[in-house]
């Protein structure tokens, strides 16, 4: 088995991260625009409460008719 094969297996199983992704930031999917967004420093205190990618989406979710 060559090292490329091993890497592919490990990668597909999620066992390793890409080398250039040193810091794995948590991600969430915005329920309004269905897009993934990553942790930002401004959310470091209330990341658990963050549900939307932006203020715009947050307002949209409340303003839906």
- Per-residue tokens: 29: 């999917």
Q: Which is nearer to Zn ion, 7 or 36 (CB)?
A: 36
Q: Which is nearer to Zn ion, 7 or 31 (CB)?
A: 31
The residues in 30-49 that bind Zn ion, with binding defined as CB under 5 A, are 30, 32-33
- Per-residue tokens: 58: 């947050």
DSSP summary character for residue 37: E
Terminal Cα distance for the chain, rounded: 57
CA-CA distance, 11 to 27, in Å (whole number)? Answer: 19
CB of 53 to Zn ion, least distance (A): 4
Q: Which is nearer to Zn ion, 33 or 50 (CB)?
A: 33
Where does this chain bind Zn ion (CB under 5 A)? 30, 32-33, 53, 57
């Amino acid at each position: 088995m060559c090292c490329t094969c091993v890497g592919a297996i490990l990668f597909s199983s999620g066992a390793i991260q890409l080398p250039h992704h040193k810091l794995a930031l948590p991600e969430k999917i915005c329920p309004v625009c269905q897009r993934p967004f990553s942790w930002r420093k401004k959310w470091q205190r209330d990341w658990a409460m963050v549900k939307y990618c932006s203020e715009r989406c947050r307002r949209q979710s409340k303003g839906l008719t």
